[in-house]
């Protein structure tokens, strides 16, 4: 049969420590795995989000430009109404009026053009056909929006309104116009920029109008030339076509470690395209930052939680150990009490018959093993117990037993006293008790003989020592018991009470 | 012992609570201070030398035009000036001059000095038209009248008469009046002959001093155009292997320049080169050369955007770029000084020299970006 392994404190402690580390490792590994999975899924989502985000942003910015153009046209109409109300008779008055319009309506470079393509501004009058492209048109029926590239690399958006019924100083005027510096538009758009995206304005052939960089890869180059090779030929051609038309589109490209998504939308009536670019790393970095911060917090929480659990476990373990020890001690105490109760004679306080039997078994074993060389047994019997019980009651009988026991114990201070019957005691003598047996027995007998006359307690005692041939205690007991009866007879002869008395 | 454990338990529990609190940092919002990258800027013209002299390749190409000007320390005597300027023909070249003038006007305005002016030209170069304009202007009390002389023989006497009548007249931009004219000062290109000679020299070198060339000129009688053509002819004459097959005037019209070039190529299919003396010449010539597939080499003047693109493509070999912006800026500044009664001397020279820079194919992209932001 397999022997059951005993669980020790060391085993318990080892299990607790290894278990804690395993739990810690599992929780940490699970957290890292979850984090990595989250990042992977996030990267997949970023591409989709980028396009949507940029598309919305490009629309918003294109709308900003459209609103600006619309606002400028409204102001120009107001300016024309103002001019019509003024009675302008000379060039000086016209210049004054244009000055008022500039300050009142915030229209920079507001100008009028007569039928001979002479341009009138607040400070100058000049022949403008070669300078303003819209004047080359043979007929001007509607508003015109055109882009002007000025010598010195300045680019402007020219907004013109035909004025077929405007006559000043006897001259017929064909149009009014304003020129908005593209840099002003860029400044307007930049207000909306959070510094996380790049944007630029382009002509239909991809030329950069705004001079702003669309990220480090495309920079301020022609967008179509710059993106060639960054995407597949098919995608590139498709986008070239879209760029040339009034269509919107997007491209996602990789260059080195940079992965960018670019969306472009047409700005109505201008022939411009507004392109917005974001590096996916910007979105990813932000999400990664947040994830890593959360992960770091989680890691810390896990570590500290595990430490807390470990500490708590240790405390609980120590407490459990203490409680177990206390309980064990209590149980030992109870057990000892029960054992004492089971082996003790309740009346006299000396060991009882049950104790004697256990003792006898143990001594028999030692005798057989030749572990005991010297041992004596004294068998004692109380004379007249039945008489006292019958005549004076059991209480007096019990008292007699107690007195007898006291006498025996007093006589054999170095012996083991057992009450083995109602009126019978056995004293086992070893070592010093054995050595002083004769003296003690003599003292007992003397006292007993004195008690006969004084009506005291009378105990008959017979003794015997262990003989080499004895195999068990019973052998010694039998001889002592026999001698006890002999003594009992002698005491009777001396006048001691007997059962028959 | 039991009490001891209770105490230890309390201490450890308190320690654990402290650890858990430490392990729960307050979440801070993601901070982003990603800054947007600044756009690539071209070289600051302020750092460039303000060169003077004739067309020399030694001058850095991006200093060919100086857009960074400030008015000098002269303090104008009035708070309002009114000028009249007339130039040869409606053409982008003079629009570039106008931008320089507008910058000077803006700077005067910042100082509280209002400068108003008219800047007028006919559709086609015409001495007769210019004369009419001057005769009208002389009665309108302008502080100064500026003239880009359409024809020095016709216009110089008109100027002399106006000056004699007490009107302050200056010449500007591309063409001065004839020698001995009474105009007060001239601001513009003073080395048209050298420009023509330099361009032709470059062409001759390219052709190994052997070949048949044509000369396209702008307006007949326009001093700048004629001077350049003269410089070209004199240079060709130096080399026995060089031959002039034709000389034509496009009257500052690109379309006419194209038509004339097509005709010259038809008449001289073995033409080796074309010398273009104004701004419209090289554009028309390049269109024709590209269309016919001729191998004739073009050298020409000025900074037309289309011409610069042909230069970038290699259709045009080299271009002489004048600093029109500076011409315009200086013209207005000198006009203010003249209006105050000043004469050439310490305040301004009798002839304000402006530079011309010869640029080649390798310089074309830089020039396109510098002048037109064409990238």
Q: How far is CA A417 from CA A347, A375, A404, A424, in A?
A: 13, 14, 12, 11
Q: Is the pLDDT of residue B9 over 80?
A: no
pLDDT tens across A417-453, in order?
A: 999 988 899 999 999 999 999 999 999 999 999 888 8
pLDDT band at residue A103 using 50, 70 and 90 as cut-offs: confident
Q: Which CATH architecture has domain A63-180?
A: 2-Layer Sandwich (3.30)
Question: What residue spans of A125-275 are helical by DSSP H?
Answer: 182-191, 215-218, 223-227, 233-244
Q: Where in chain A is the domain with CATH 3.30.450.20?
A: 185-283
pLDDT band at residue B375 using 50, 70 and 90 as cut-offs: low
CATH T-level assignment (fold) for domain B192-322: Rossmann fold (3.40.50)
pLDDT band at residue A319 using 50, 70 and 90 as cut-offs: confident
Higher pLDDT, A42 or A119: A119
Give chain A's mean pLDDT.
Answer: 85
Q: Where in chain B is the domain with CATH 3.40.50.2300?
A: 59-190+324-354, 192-322
Contact A211 B370 (CB under 8 A): no
Size of interface A-B (CB pairs under 8 A): 151
List residues bridging with A168 in a β-sheet: A171
Contact B12 A312 (CB under 8 A): yes
Q: Which CATH architecture has domain A353-493?
A: 2-Layer Sandwich (3.30)
Q: Where in chain A is the domain with CATH 3.30.70.270?
A: 353-493
pLDDT at A6: 64
Which class does domain B59-190+324-354 fall in?
Answer: alpha beta
Cα B231 versus chain centre, distance: 21
pLDDT band at residue A277 using 50, 70 and 90 as cut-offs: confident
Contacts of B114 in chain A (CB under 8 A): 123
Contacts of B66 in chain A (CB under 8 A): none
pLDDT at A500: 57
Nearest CA in chain A to B9: A315
Instruction: Measure the N-to-C terminal CA separation of chain B; round to a whole number of Å.
Output: 88
Q: What ipTM does the predicted assembly reach? A: 0.77
Average pLDDT score over residue span A55-69:
88
Higher pLDDT, B337 or B49: B337
CATH T-level assignment (fold) for domain A185-283: Beta-Lactamase (3.30.450)
Tell me what percent of the residues of chain A surpass a pLDDT of 70.
92
Contact A152 B371 (CB under 8 A): yes
Q: How far is B13 from chain A (nearest CA, A)?
A: 7
pLDDT at B42: 27
pLDDT tens across B54-82, in order?
A: 334 434 566 788 888 999 999 999 999 99
Contact A125 B118 (CB under 8 A): yes
Contact A126 B118 (CB under 8 A): yes
Average pLDDT score over residue span B80-87:
97
Contact A127 B119 (CB under 8 A): yes
Please give the Cα distance from A188 to B40 (Å, whole number). 19
Average pLDDT score over residue span B35-54:
31
Give chain B's mean pLDDT.
Answer: 84
The residue among A152, A275, A282 with the most chain B CBs within 10 A of its CB, best to mutate, is A152
pLDDT band at residue B23 using 50, 70 and 90 as cut-offs: very low
Contact B19 A304 (CB under 8 A): yes
Q: Which residues of B12-37 are buried (b: 16+ CB within 10 A; e: fewer)?
A: beeebeebeeebeeeeeeeeeeeeee
Nearest CA in chain A to B98: A126
pLDDT at A286: 67
Q: Is the pLDDT of residue B28 over 50?
A: no
Range of lowest pLDDT (A183-192, A311-320, B110-119) = A183-192
pLDDT tens across B97-146, in order?
A: 999 999 999 999 999 999 999 999 998 888 999 999 999 999 999 999 99
The maximal CA–CA distance of chain A, rounded, in angstroms, is 180
pLDDT band at residue B48 using 50, 70 and 90 as cut-offs: very low
Alpha carbon dihedral A386, A390, A392, A398, in 10-degree steps, equals 40
Average pLDDT score over residue span A111-124:
94
From the number of C-beta atoms within 10 Å of its C-beta (0-12, 13-18, 19+), residue B55 rates as buried
Q: How far is B315 from chain A (nearest CA, A)?
A: 21
Average pLDDT score over residue span B168-186:
94
User: Tokens for A33?
Assistant: 């795995």
The residue among B6, B29, B33, B39 with the most chain A CBs within 10 A of its CB, best to mutate, is B39
pLDDT at B326: 93
Instruction: Provide CB contacts within 8 A for A497, sequence distance 6+.
Output: A383, A384, A387, A458
């Amino acid at each position: 049969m397999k022997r059951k392994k005993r669980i020790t404190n060391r085993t318990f402690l080892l299990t607790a420590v290894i278990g804690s580390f395993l739990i810690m490792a599992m929780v940490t590994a699970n957290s890292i795995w979850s984090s990595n999975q989250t990042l992977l899924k996030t990267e997949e989502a970023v591409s989709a989000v980028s396009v949507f985000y940029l598309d919305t942003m490009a629309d918003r910015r294109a709308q900003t430009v459209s609103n600006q153009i619309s606002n400028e046209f409204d102001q120009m109409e107001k300016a024309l109404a103002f001019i019509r109300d003024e009675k302008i008779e000379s060039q000086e008055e016209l210049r004054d009026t244009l000055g008022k319009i500039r300050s009142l309506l915030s229209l920079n470079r507001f100008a009028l053009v007569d039928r001979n393509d002479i341009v009138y501004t607040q400070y100058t009058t000049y022949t403008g056909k070669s300078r303003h492209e819209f004047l080359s048109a043979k007929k001007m029926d509607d508003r015109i929006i055109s882009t002007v590239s000025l010598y010195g690399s300045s680019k402007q958006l020219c907004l013109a309104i035909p004025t077929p019924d405007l006559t000043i100083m006897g001259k017929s005027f064909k149009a009014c116009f304003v020129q908005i510096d593209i840099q002003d538009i860029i400044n307007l758009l930049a207000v909306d920029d959070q510094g996380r995206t790049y944007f630029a304005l382009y002509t239909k052939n991809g030329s950069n109008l705004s001079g702003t960089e669309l990220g480090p890869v495309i920079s301020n180059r022609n967008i179509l030339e710059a993106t060639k090779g960054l995407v597949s030929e098919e995608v590139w051609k498709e986008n070239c076509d879209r760029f040339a038309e009034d269509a919107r589109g997007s491209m996602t490209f990789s260059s080195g470690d940079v992965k960018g998504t670019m969306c472009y939308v047409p700005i109505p009536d201008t022939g411009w395209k507004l392109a917005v670019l974001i590096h996916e790393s910007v979105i990813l970095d932000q999400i990664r930052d947040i994830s890593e911060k959360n992960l770091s917090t989680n890691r810390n929480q896990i570590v500290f939680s595990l430490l807390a659990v470990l500490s708590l476990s240790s405390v609980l373990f120590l407490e459990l150990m203490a409680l177990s020890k206390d309980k064990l001690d209590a149980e030992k105490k109870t057990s000892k009490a029960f054992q004492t109760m089971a082996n003790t004679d309740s009346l006299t306080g000396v060991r009882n018959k049950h104790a004697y039997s256990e003792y006898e078994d143990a001594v028999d074993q030692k005798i057989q093993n030749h572990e005991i060389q010297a041992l004596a047994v004294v068998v004692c019997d109380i004379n007249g117990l039945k008489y006292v019980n019958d005549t004076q009651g059991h209480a007096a009988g019990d008292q007699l037993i107690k007195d007898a026991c006291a006498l025996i114990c007093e006589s054999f201070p170095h012996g083991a006293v057992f009450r083995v019957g109602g009126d019978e005691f056995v004293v086992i003598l070893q070592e010093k008790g054995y050595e002083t047996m004769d003296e003690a027995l003599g003292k007992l007998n003397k006292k007993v003989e004195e008690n006969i006359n004084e009506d005291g307690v009378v105990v008959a005692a017979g003794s015997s020592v262990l003989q080499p041939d004895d195999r068990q205690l019973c052998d010694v007991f039998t001889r002592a018991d026999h001698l006890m009866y002999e003594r009992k007879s002698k005491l009777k002869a001396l006048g001691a009470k007997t059962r028959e008395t | 012992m039991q009490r001891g454990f209770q105490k230890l338990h309390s201490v450890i529990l308190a320690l654990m609570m402290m650890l858990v609190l430490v392990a729960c940092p307050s979440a801070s919002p993601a901070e982003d201070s990603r800054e947007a990258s600044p756009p690539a800027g071209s070289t600051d013209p302020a750092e460039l030398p303000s060169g003077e002299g004739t067309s020399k390749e030694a001058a850095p190409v991006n200093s060919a035009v100086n857009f960074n000007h400030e008015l000098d320390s002269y303090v104008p005597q009035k708070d309002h000036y009114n000028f009249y300027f007339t130039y040869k023909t409606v053409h982008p070249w003079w629009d570039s001059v106008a931008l320089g003038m507008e910058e000077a006007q803006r700077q005067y305005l910042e100082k509280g000095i209002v400068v108003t002016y008219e800047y007028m030209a006919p559709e086609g170069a015409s001495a007769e038209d210019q004369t009419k304009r001057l005769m009208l202007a002389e009665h309108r009390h302008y502080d100064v009248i500026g003239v880009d002389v359409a024809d020095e023989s016709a216009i110089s006497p008109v100027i002399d008469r106006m000056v004699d009548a007490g009107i302050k007249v200056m010449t500007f931009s591309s063409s001065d009046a004839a020698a001995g004219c009474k105009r007060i000062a001239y601001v513009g290109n003073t080395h048209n002959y050298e420009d023509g000679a330099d361009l032709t020299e470059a062409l001759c070198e390219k052709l190994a001093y052997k070949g048949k060339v044509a000369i396209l000129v702008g307006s007949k009688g326009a001093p700048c155009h004629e001077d350049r053509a003269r410089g070209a002819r004199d240079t060709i004459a130096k080399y026995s292997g060089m031959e002039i097959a034709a000389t034509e005037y496009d009257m500052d019209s690109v379309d006419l320049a194209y038509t004339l070039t097509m005709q010259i190529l038809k008449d001289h299919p073995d033409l080796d080169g074309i010398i273009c003396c104004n701004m419209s010449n090289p554009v028309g010539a390049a269109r024709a050369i590209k269309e016919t597939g001729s191998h004739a080499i073009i050298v020409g003047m000025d900074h037309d955007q289309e011409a610069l693109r042909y230069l970038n493509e290699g259709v045009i070999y080299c271009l002489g770029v004048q600093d029109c912006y500076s011409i315009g800026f200086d013209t207005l500044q000198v006009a203010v000084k003249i209006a105050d009664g000043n004469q050439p001397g310490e305040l301004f020279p009798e002839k304000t020299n402006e530079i011309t820079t010869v640029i080649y194919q390798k310089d074309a992209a830089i020039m396109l970006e510098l002048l037109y932001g064409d990238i």
